[in-house]
């Protein structure tokens, strides 16, 4: 992801200095490679951090924290809202202005029209930084709370993995019963999921209730049939977790 971000910025004519915990990974990128974190931060007036997790961000920044006073930092590392708020407080204590971010893209789509980046933190900071980072993805401010970008990122990823789990389960069922997986994906699963996606997102609800027109008792029976069909096909039970979660909700709504 770091390489994709740097490549998009370089393609837009930005001057980019990079640092990686494993030296040499910037080979062929065209960016200047710093030999240390401190050198990378001093190379410009805006620092973008994209590492494995919150712990790696703190581990990387802690040794240079006393020298960060006055710096502007954008953290695009995935993490929780609580971690983002704690990081913002810690950096504020060192005189650093933080804009927290969440990348709504995978590396091959960074810099394309479909990519967008969630940002949270001070609005004036976002307004100053957004034009600089726009080449990596459409900037979208989601609030002053530094935890909101991470919150929305994790929640959106949850939705994505839910769809991915359902798709994996679906093709496994077809494969186990000897069906044509590629034809199923192309002619049935893809068109069906595209048709239903607006309804799934629009009807998403945080309560345990279900609209009466959904007929939760009927839905529960349908889900029980799906689970039975999955078991008959020999699909591992762990792949059907999304069905059991939906069944739990329908049963509670029907009770």
- Between CA 36 and CA 47 the distance in angstroms is 13
Cα within 13 Å of Cα(248), Cβ side: 8
Per residue in 211-232, pLDDT (tens digit) is 777 788 999 999 999 999 999 9
Would you state the pLDDT for residue 131? 96
pTM for the model stands at 0.86
**Regions of the chain where pLDDT drops below 70:** 208
Residue 44 tokens read as: 């410009």
**What is the pLDDT at residue 7?**
96
> Environment class of residue 46 by beta-carbon count within 10 Å: exposed (0-12), middle (13-18) or buried (19+)?
middle
pLDDT digits (tens, 9 = 90+) for 154-165: 999 999 999 999
pLDDT at 206: 75
């Amino acid at each position: 992801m770091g390489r994709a971000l740097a490549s998009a910025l370089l393609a837009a004519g930005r001057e980019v200095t990079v640092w990686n915990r494993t030296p040499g990974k910037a080979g062929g990128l065209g960016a200047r490679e710093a030999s240390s974190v401190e050198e990378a931060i001093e190379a410009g007036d805006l620092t973008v951090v994209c590492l494995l997790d919150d712990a790696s961000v703190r581990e990387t920044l802690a040794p240079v924290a006393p020298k960060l006073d006055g710096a502007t930092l954008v953290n695009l590392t995935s993490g929780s809202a609580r971690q983002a708020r704690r990081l913002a407080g810690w950096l504020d204590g060192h005189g650093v202005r933080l804009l927290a971010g969440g990348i709504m893209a995978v590396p091959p789509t960074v810099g394309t029209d479909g990519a967008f980046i969630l940002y949270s933190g001070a609005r004036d900071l976002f307004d100053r930084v957004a034009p600089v980072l726009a080449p990596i993805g459409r900037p979208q401010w989601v609030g002053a709370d530094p935890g909101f970008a991470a919150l929305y990122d994790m929640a959106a990823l949850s939705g994505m993995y839910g769809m991915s789990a359902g798709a994996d389960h679906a093709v496994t069922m077809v494969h186990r019963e000897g069906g044509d997986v590629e034809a199923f994906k192309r002619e049935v699963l893809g068109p069906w999921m595209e048709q239903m996606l607006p309804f799934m997102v629009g009807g998403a609800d945080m309560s345990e209730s279900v609209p009466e027109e959904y007929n939760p008792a009927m839905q529960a029976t349908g889900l029980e049939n799906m689970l039975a069909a999955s078991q008959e096909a020999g699909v591992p039970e762990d792949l059907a977790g999304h069905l059991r979660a939906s069944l739990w909700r329908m049963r509670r709504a029907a009770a």
